[in-house]
Structure 1
């Protein structure tokens, strides 16, 4: 984990925002979004957590080995509520949120799974029930029908993202796993990106023009939507 240089607060912060990275993520992948967070939330600490490690410095066979390891870990996390990565993230987060009024978890891809499960562990074990959870381009996973889901927002894009087609919220025939996110939102992102590039572009400063000749950037539009849903006032 590391604290973003875009943070405007380090101690006794009113708002703490955590980005949870998925697989094959580099250290600076969330920095454009972090700058947008700093523009919208006062006295904010911005922390990035890499549950599956960073891809910085990995090339060729070492990158393939990292990917193989990460995919195995993701498969494990999709089916278990409290993996080692969830427990570790929870321990890290408890060091930063004691005085925070607003807590936001923003997870990308498999990081969205960790964000959801970390928030739930914080609530159930430590009584921290104010975190707002946002999962972006995340695979689906079985959800219990619990009030906690009201604070869980699932965001996808207009293009076909194969990661978001993985899994399901509800387990067929189960009376326990029949929940769903409090909100499911589809947004428009830069249409030039296709396939895996689209999946990787949600948080990037990717500039594009819509049919009305209005300029957008992916990171700006995404954080604007999150702030609209949870202004933190």
Structure 2
């Protein structure tokens, strides 16, 4: 399975943020998306997930010799700012999500088993989401793709709001899931990217550039990435 980006162009007014992006992501890998603030990482994710309409180009999921346009249900998107129904408790929301997707979720765990997985305490499960911390809301967001397991998973700064114990558990979970998924996450933490990712790509000047794998093992890894982003070359 591959996620194919074909000439994605996105303008905001007179500013071109994505300048005809072509790239192919493969199943079985975790990709780190790096870029400076304002480079267009979130805009790219929004185009891939269908949150915003691209001005031209397409996004396709390829299985063998067959490529089809990506559908909304093919993509799980964990936002950096969680979007959740704050009038429900965490338990009510996850139970509702399980109920409406029960036909597609054969063998799903119980609500409490999912909360146990994310180390959400029993007392917190029955509190309104409105009263959750940012990190707690992100845990609930993460649960949705753990439950539904869409082929493509996008994570926008996914681990920055978790404590070190939960962050390690999420990293291990992503590693265990990657064989069946295409996982792309944006981050500004270079060490996290080097530790977790199989491949890195930089979004710079509106285009995606793959980072050579050998660079990940280089002692000068961080400085090389910073230099690439500072001078705007995007070449290795």
Q: TM-score, normalised by structure 2?
A: 0.29
Higher helix fraction (1 or 2): 2
The higher relative CO (CA closer than 8 Å, separation ≥ 6) is in 2
Higher strand fraction (1 or 2): 2
